[in-house]
Amino acid sequence: MRLAVASGKGGTGKTLVATNLAWSLAARRAGVAYVDADVEAPNGHLFFQPDFTWIERHGVPVPTLDGAHCAGCGECASACQFGAIVSGPDAVTVYPDLCHACGVCLRACPEASLREVVRETGTLRRGHVGRMGFVDGTLDPGEARSAPLIQATVALGGEANLAVLDAPPGTSCAAVAAVEDADLVILVCEPTPFGLHDLELSLQMCATLGLEAAAVINRSDLGDSQVRSLLARERVPVLAEVPFDPEIAAACASGMLASAQVPGFASTVEAVADQLLARCGGRQ
Ligand code: SF4
Ligand code: SF4
């Protein structure tokens, strides 16, 4: 079972919900893991300070000529949809940052001149916090393509019975890579015009991918009611509303789980965990 916690934009409280929800679920059931797939800015480890048991570099395959004979026919360049390989009279130039590691150019080459080499793009880590599993991925600085590392991070977390995925914000390739196989996407949103706009995009993403969605409204006592109207119209259940509370912000800023510091928030998270476990039980 994969629960993806996502949001249309950064700063809505996605990691707040993901970390506290994972912790609450782990207190109730064995086999729970928190999976930080927000690889461009992973910060779940700051709240959990996990004991890491496995760390490995992650890479993607990119083509290289590496001294092989090249007829300069240009078939590889014509086949590449991303402009990542350019052919000259007797050699090719590969632009690794543009390469999507699809392998099409290798199959297109009539001379079998190309082979793949691994280009490292980030780091994967696995560990635990008490009995809760912990996985995260960290993209190397300057690396443009995050999706392969996100998919590897999610796959690593898939070894848990119940994985809570902290997805990247937005609705681009990175967010899609994190949520595409989720059983439920929990959209953290806020009741503001910006929040409404980004929630609309997130709901479109879920609909396009055929994913079930639910919502948590953060800072729910600020703003207006348009977000609630949209969720009602789209028949998206609201799992919880979290009113603005400076103590929650203070706990987060101190690197502490807010549910351990703010009793009202802890009750809210526990209620969400109970709802989700009831759904999981129904699927077993
Ligand atoms: S592997 Fe795919 S994206 Fe990369 S250079 Fe070859 S065809 Fe282009
Ligand atoms: S398809 Fe093969 S032989 Fe032709 S330009 Fe590319 S690498 Fe060279």
Ligand 2 binding pocket, CB closer than 6 Å: 65, 70-76, 87, 92, 108-109, 111, 113-114
Count of positions (residues) in the chain: 284
Nearest to 7 by CA among 147, 251, 136, 178: 178
Domain 66-113: CATH architecture, name and number where available: 2-Layer Sandwich (3.30)
pTM of the model: 0.91
pLDDT tens per residue, range 192-240: 999 999 999 999 999 999 999 999 999 999 989 999 999 999 999 999 9
Strands (E), 79-234: 85-87, 92-94, 115-129, 132-139, 162-166, 184-189, 213-218
- Take atom 4 of ligand 2 and give the residue whose Cα is closest: 73
Does the pLDDT of residue 111 top 80, yes or no? Answer: yes
**Helices 193-209 and 226-233: angle between axes, nearest 10 degrees:** 20
Among 78, 80, 92, the mutation site with the greatest number of ligand 2 atoms within 8 A of its Cβ is 92
What's the sign of the alpha-carbon dihedral 71, 73, 75, 76?
positive
How does residue 284 score in pLDDT terms, banded at 50, 70 and 90?
Answer: very low
Average pLDDT score over residue span 259-265: 95
Q: Which part of the chain has CATH 3.40.50.300? A: 2-57+121-283
Q: Ligand 1 mean position to 97 CA, how many Å?
A: 10
Does the pLDDT of residue 68 top 90, yes or no? Answer: no
Residue 77: its pLDDT value, please?
97
Does the pLDDT of residue 283 top 90, yes or no? Answer: no
Homologous superfamily (CATH) for 2-57+121-283: P-loop containing nucleotide triphosphate hydrolases (3.40.50.300)
Between 198 and 282, residue with greater pLDDT:
198
